Amino acid sequence: MSEHVYVPRMAVGLVHYPVRDRMQKTVSTNITNFDIHDIARACQVYGVEKYYIIHPMQEQLMFVERVLDHWRVGQGSKFNPMRKTALGSVRTASSVEAAMADWNQPDGITIATTARVEWAKRKYQFSELRHEMHVEKKPVFMLFGTGFGMTKELIGSCSGVLESIRGAPPQDYRHLSVRSAVSICLDRVMGPW
């Protein structure tokens, strides 16, 4: 007899616009090959339904589609079938709104990840979000910013902000790569512990 394990419904969005630069100006950032592959692999490990790469520029989205084509149907699909599997959940979107419309979970909650928790409507501890996902069975769309993080307006439009990942004392260094941050957050809210 097999035991059914509930897997919470989750999507991840990697936001390249609107994000901030070091001078706090709103900019767009370039998509990197590493972010496509590494975040897709983390999403596959933790059962994330869809991983959206969000950028308003068609050229950047076309770059993602070329990479995906290589690994899904091109030579890469024969060379590394595991990579093909991991990239199956990747989608592109021109905006956060377009990604959310595609995922189509109107009763879900949208969570921003940021060190700027003062911009939040609500602050979630990892344990609180995990409870909402696993016990209350709420779908979650989790957004991760690039550059120096998402804009105040985007963060304020989300249902809430997840507590930031703290570094070891005494420095409490908080400038992880987005790939590392995604992996840590997914393990804390989706991991089987």
Among 39, 21, 33, residue whose Cα is nearest residue 60: 33
Fold of 10-190: Alpha/beta knot (3.40.1280)
Task: Give the CA radius of gyration of the chain.
Answer: 17
Q: CA-to-CA distance for 22 and 134, rounded, in angstroms?
A: 37
CA angle (109 as vertex; 100, 8 as ends), nearest 5: 95
Residue-wise pLDDT for 133-180, tens only, equals: 999 999 999 999 999 999 999 999 999 999 989 888 888 887 789 999
Q: What is the rounded distance in angstroms from the CA atom of residue 15 to the CA atom of residue 96?
A: 7
pTM, two decimals, is 0.93
> And the tokens for 101?
């419309």
On average, the pLDDT of the chain sits at: 92
| Residue ranges per structural domain of the chain | 10-190
Quote the CA–CA distance of 54 and 61 in Å, as a whole number: 8
* Tens-digit pLDDT profile for residues 73-106: 877 777 777 778 889 999 999 999 999 999 999 9
The two structure tokens encoding residue 16: 């390249």
